[in-house]
């Protein structure tokens, strides 16, 4: 089931972004085999982790010649392989893309890094916050007069990294069907984060965006695009950008339209009375504090205000819209995101809980053509755990 059914993918297990790519491909029906370290410490993996779901595991010792030989035999039969090492590590271990593509010319070799495969920082350590710092994204996230705020590790690790790699690999796999040739996919989290800023590059070119923190319409400057506290200490979100949405916001809050009729966004190139924004923000803060989050939901939810309550992970699945769409699922008692996106024909199935490292080593090797004698030899010489 799923649009990628029939594809065989090897995932060299990493952290965060790389497993997310594996989850995305597996959710869509690809057979993704996790290659875990033979020396993975006990307790280091939680099989209920959503990032590990849907994949069986083989534990190979990639620092041994037998382990690398076994990996290359798997590569011979795979449609794709991906890894999240620093540049050059796969080559030093003995399974670099040049060697793998020589053995399997149709192979797609995905490489996920923070900085990319080349450039002055290619070999430097880094994390999401560093990549979005260099992309221009972090500089733009935060309130005026305060410091930039990291949006968890969503932008570079998961969006600009794991999702970008999954997209790149599917693109390369489609191209391989036409040309018969595989290739290397260089997915850099920095590149992905910069790509996410495309709209703001366009805004800057038109003079609608500058580098001052908290000064942009979408960056907490506008009182009608922000979050507000409610009477019960919870929060709601407002995104009343368009004139008709802004008008309904004033109607449902009871705020005087005459005083703030020119304070809303009138469209590209149109002037806004931003001098009224501080007063409007105070009005909205005061109004929203008069009722609880649930009371505001009853008043505004489903309207054109562009409204939603700010929900925590522990409660978001209880919201009627998320419940109706089954946005989350439970697998072995663990709440987690449902596979996305959705398809009208090739619908993905419900993923299974991921395996602990090495649980499926023998079964995978047997299914991928290894003889009983070869599997036994790998156990004896330390190639697999």
Segment holding 110, helix H or strand E: strand 108-113
What pLDDT does residue 365 have?
97
| Local confidence pLDDT in tens for the 385 residues of the chain | 899 999 999 999 998 899 999 999 999 999 999 999 876 665 566 778 999 999 999 999 999 999 999 999 999 999 999 999 999 999 999 999 999 999 999 999 999 999 999 999 999 999 999 999 999 999 999 999 999 999 999 999 999 999 999 999 999 999 999 999 999 999 999 999 999 999 999 999 988 888 899 888 899 999 999 999 999 999 999 999 999 999 999 999 999 999 998 888 776 556 788 899 999 999 999 999 999 999 999 999 999 999 999 999 999 999 999 999 999 999 999 999 999 999 999 999 999 999 989 999 999 999 999 999 999 999 999 999 7
What pLDDT does residue 273 have?
86
d(CA 280, CA 332): 48
Segment holding 229, helix H or strand E: strand 225-229
d(CA 69, CA 152): 39
Q: Where in the chain is the domain with CATH 3.40.50.10540?
A: 8-196+328-380
Contact present, 155 and 132 (Cβ < 8 Å): yes
What pLDDT does residue 41 have?
60
Cβ within 8 Å of residue 101, ≥6 positions away: 107, 109, 182, 183, 184
Top CATH class of 215-229+235-309 equals alpha beta
Long-range Cβ contact pairs of 239-244 (< 8 A, separation 24 or more): 239/306, 239/307, 240/264, 240/305, 240/306, 241/217, 241/265, 241/306, 243/267, 244/304
Sheet holding 8-12, edge to edge: 56-60, 31-37, 8-12, 80-83, 108-113, 183-188
Q: Does domain 8-196+328-380 have CATH number 3.40.50.10540?
A: yes
Cβ within 8 Å of residue 242, ≥6 positions away: 265
Q: Where in the sequence numbering do the catalytic residues fall?
A: 127, 157
Q: Where in the chain is the domain with CATH 3.30.1540.10?
A: 215-229+235-309
What pLDDT does residue 260 have?
92
Q: How many Cβ atoms are within 10 Å of 136's Cβ, its own excluded? A: 16
Please state the length of the chain.
385
Residue 264, classed as helix, strand or coil, is coil
Q: Give Cα 277 distance to the centre of its chain.
A: 34
Q: Show the CA angle centred on residue 50, arms to residues 46 and 52, nearest 5°.
A: 65
| Tokens representing residue 363 in the block | 């079964």
Q: Is 204 exposed, middle or buried (0-12, 13-18, 19+ CB in 10 A)?
A: middle
């Amino acid at each position: 089931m799923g649009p990628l059914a029939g594809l065989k993918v090897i995932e060299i297990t990493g952290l965060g972004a790389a497993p997310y790519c594996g989850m995305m491909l597996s959710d869509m029906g690809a057979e993704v085999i996790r290659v875990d370290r033979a020396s993975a410490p006990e307790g280091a993996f939680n099989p209920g982790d959503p990032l590990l779901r849907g994949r069986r595991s083989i534990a190979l010792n990639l620092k041994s010649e037998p382990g690398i030989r076994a990996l290359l035999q798997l590569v011979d039969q795979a449609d794709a392989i991906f890894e999240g090492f620093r540049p050059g590590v796969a080559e030093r271990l003995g399974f670099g893309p040049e060697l793998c593509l020589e053995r399997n010319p149709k192979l797609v070799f995905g490489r996920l890094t923070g900085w990319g495969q080349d450039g002055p920082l290619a070999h430097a350590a880094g994390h999401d916050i560093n990549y979005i710092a260099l992309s221009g994204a972090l500089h733009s996230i935060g309130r005026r007069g305060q410091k930039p705020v990291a949006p968890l590790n969503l932008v570079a690790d998961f969006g600009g990294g794991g999702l970008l790699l999954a997209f790149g690999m599917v693109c390369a796999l489609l191209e391989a069907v036409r040309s018969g040739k595989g290739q290397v996919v260089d997915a850099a989290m920095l590149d992905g984060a910069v790509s996410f800023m495309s709209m703001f590059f366009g805004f800057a070119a038109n003079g609608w965006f500058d580098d001052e923190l908290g000064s942009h319409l979408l960056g907490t400057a506008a009182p009608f695009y922000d979050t507000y506290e409610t009477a019960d200490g919870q929060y709601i979100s407002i995104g009343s950008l368009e004139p008709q949405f802004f008008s309904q916001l004033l109607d449902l809050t009871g705020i005087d339209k005459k005083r703030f009729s020119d304070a809303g966004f009138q469209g590209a190139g149109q002037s806004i009375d931003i001098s009224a924004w501080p007063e409007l923000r105070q009005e909205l803060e005061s109004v929203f504090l008069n009722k609880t989050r649930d009371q505001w939901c009853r008043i505004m939810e489903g309207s054109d205000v562009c409204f939603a309550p700010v929900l925590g992970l522990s409660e978001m699945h209880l919201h009627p819209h998320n419940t109706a769409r089954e946005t989350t699922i439970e697998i072995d008692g663990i709440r987690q995101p449902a596979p996305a996106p959705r398809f009208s024909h090739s619908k993905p199935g419900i993923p299974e809980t991921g395996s602990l490292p090495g649980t499926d080593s023998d079964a995978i090797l047997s299914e991928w053509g290894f003889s009983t004698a070869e599997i036994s030899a790998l156990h004896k010489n330390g190639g697999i755990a």
